[in-house]
Structure formats: C-alpha cells, structure tokens
Amino acid sequence: MPYGAEHFLATGETLPEAAYADLRDGFDAILFGAVGDPRVPDGRHAEEILLRLRQGLELTINFRPCRPLPGTGPEGLHLEVFRENTEGPYCLQGSTEPDRAVDLAVHTAPAVRRLLEAAFVRAAQRGRVLTLAHKANVLKHGHGLWVRLFQELQALHPEVSARAMHADALLCALVQDPRPFGVIAADNYLGDLISDLTAAFAGGMGTAPSLSWAPHRPFRCAVLAEPVHGSAPDIAGRNLANPVGMILSTALLFRHLGWEPEAMAVEEAVAAALRDGAKTHDLGGTHGTAAMGRAIRERLP
Ligand code: IPM
Ligand code: MN
C-alpha cells in the first residue's frame, strides 16, 4: 500500500477510511515500514497512519526484543521490552497556549492489565526476572495505576520474580549492566525511550525488530510487525539503510503466526550473514542495503 509521506505530499491523503477498514478486516497481518519525514513537520501522516493503526487495531502489546547478533553486542544478552502501545501521552490530547502547554496521558486498566499479563506470562515462560519501569513517585495517578495492577498480578504469578523500579534508577542500572534484566514492562512513553536504549546494546537502531499485537483480538488483523527505527530521511534512497531490523521483524511475525521453522530460518540467515562479515555502514561494514539483503537471502534454506 502506498501510504506514507510521499503519498501524503502528493495527494493530501494519510490513511483513507476504506484502506484502514481493509487493513483491519481483509488481512491477517501487517508489515509496516517506517514513518517520519521532515517535509511534514507536524508529523500528521505518522500520527494518522501509524498511531491510528496501533490505536484503532488495539495493538496493546509492543514487543521489542534485544538480542545481539554476531559482533553487535555482548553474547548471551537477551532482554525483552513489553511496551504498552496505545495509551499514555500517545492519546494526543492536550493544548498549546502562548505560555502554557499541556499533554494529557491516559492510562486505562484493561490495556495496562493486558500489557502486564503478557509480560508476566513471558517472564514465567523464560524463567527470567520481570521489571516494571515507572515514575509513580511523580506520576501518581497514571503510573500509580500501573504499580497497583503490577502488584495485583504479582500475587497471581508467584512463580515470577518481579520488581517495580523507578525508571530513572532502572536506566542507570541498565547502562551499567543489562545482563541481569530479562523482561521489562513499561508504558508507551517510557517503553519508547527504553527500547531505543536496549536497541543500542544489540547493534543500534538498524537491527532492532518489533511486533505489536492485540491479545484480545477483536479484528481479523491483530498483529503488526515494524522495525524499531524511524524512516532515517537523511539516508533515504542512498542504499545505506540497514535492512536487518525490518527482516528480523518479519521473523517475529512468522513466529507469532505459528511458523516457527520459517522464523528460525530468517533469524539464522541474518546471523550467518553477519558472522560471515556482511555488514552495513552503521555496523562498520561496507554493504549497501541491497547487498545486505542479498547476503541474507542467499543464506535462507
Ligand atoms: C517508535 C517511534 C514512534 C513512537 C514515532 C514514529 C511516533 O519512535 O515506534 O518507537 O514514538 O512510537
Ligand atoms: Mn521510538
């Protein structure tokens, strides 16, 4: 589908209602590129395409794993961020006056509970510690709700070693040593920030994948895969972008759809390409986007 900045600038159209309905009802999954373009300074197309899909399709869970590839970070590191994907300040309610600006952040119990439940289940499955990032010492209402629901779920999941941490202290601990962390749960805003940091532990923005889904599945299409990175307009069209984040996002999508062998094949092909020295410029290599894509494709069974 053509929707993005180019299409918006040419037609004034972001995501038409019919296309949105088609995405919601006519497909099993969405593979999303990246949005953001300096020619649209208010980011209207990003808001009306990406945020609309996340919120409209109720894609509460945004899963952002951090797992270094050969040569891109400490071996054995495996942490996963569960970011709430539809609420907090992303509800885009607020106002700008000459000397005062307000951004409202809305948190609702059903969405917070869905996100936390998924994070608890995953931490239990992996036998790893779960950490909630919050700032309830300041955001008493919104993050107060997060801490309360976290404590409720803690009582229901005694098998999980779980801890709520102030996000500032968490960031400090993460930078010093990310290895003790297993699963991190966070609201939309903190999760956005934390997942860029964790991407940096594993090769940077070019390699980080993500998957969003709606565990309560009200629609046919309840899953969207997208790289963590933005559209990098400064290198657009120059054969410089790293395709790995996008390709690994398809692997997450395959796994979610139940295609485990296909997911593994994609992840192994990416790892093999890097192990054999294929690297884009962001990783200190010389491969262009197309050559990197070919190096991965050649290693698929
Ligand atoms: C991301 C991006 C988006 C976000 C932008 C493009 C709105 O940074 O997916 O992390 O803030 O969620
Ligand atoms: Mn982001």
Ligand 1 atom closest to residue 54's alpha carbon, by position in its atom list: 12
Verify whether residue 135 is a known catalytic residue. yes
Q: Residue 90 catalytic?
A: yes
Residues 203 and 293 in one domain: no
Say yes or no: CB of residue 46 within 6 Å of ligand 1. yes
CA separation (Å) from 145 to 75, 108, 219, 256?
36, 8, 27, 29
22 in a structural domain? no
* Residue 292, amino acid: M
pLDDT for 221 equals 84
192 CB near ligand 1 (under 6 Å)? yes
- pLDDT mean values, one per 10 residues, the chain (301 residues): 94 96 95 93 91 96 97 95 98 96 98 98 98 98 98 98 98 97 98 97 97 89 94 93 98 97 98 98 97 98 95
pLDDT score of 141: 98
pLDDT of residue 219: 79
Per-residue pLDDT at 217: 79
Same domain, 198 and 285: no
Q: Is the CB of 36 under 6 A from ligand 1?
A: yes
Are the C-beta atoms of residues 62 and 189 closer than 8 Å to each other?
no
The pTM of the full predicted model, rounded to 2 decimals, is 0.97
The ligand minimizing its distance to the Cα of 62 is 1
User: What integer pLDDT is reported at residue 22 of this predicted model?
Assistant: 95
Q: What is the pLDDT of residue 72?
A: 96
Range of the structural domain that residue 94 is part of: 65-208
Would you state the pLDDT for residue 88?
98
Same domain, 179 and 238: no
Distance from the alpha carbon of residue 153 to the mean position of ligand 2, in angstroms:
27
204 and 101 together in one domain: yes
> Which position among 3, 20, 37, 90 bears the catalytic label?
90
Instruction: Indicate whether 71 and 131 sit together in one domain.
Output: yes
Same domain, 183 and 237: no
Q: How many domains does the chain have?
A: 2
Q: Are residues 131 and 265 in the same domain?
A: no
Q: How far apart are the C-alpha atoms of 78 and 116, rounded to whole Å?
A: 19
Q: Which of 189, 192, 279, 282 is catalytic?
A: 192
The verdict on residue 43 lying in a domain is no
* 259 CA → ligand 2 middle, Å: 27
**CATH number for 160:** 3.40.718.10
Tell me how far the alpha carbon of residue 198 lies from the centroid of ligand 2, in angstroms.
11
Asked if 168 is an active-site residue, the reply is: yes
Regarding the beta carbon of 89 and ligand 1, being less than 6 Å apart is answered no
Q: What is the pLDDT of residue 220?
A: 86
Give, for ligand 1, the residue of 50, 190, 249 to mutate: max count of ligand atoms closer than 8 Å to Cβ. Answer: 50
What is the spatial distance between Cα 267 and Cα 252, in angstroms, rounded to a whole number? Answer: 9
176, 208, 240: which is the final residue of a domain? 208
Classify the C-alpha dihedral 235-237-243-246 as positive or negative. positive
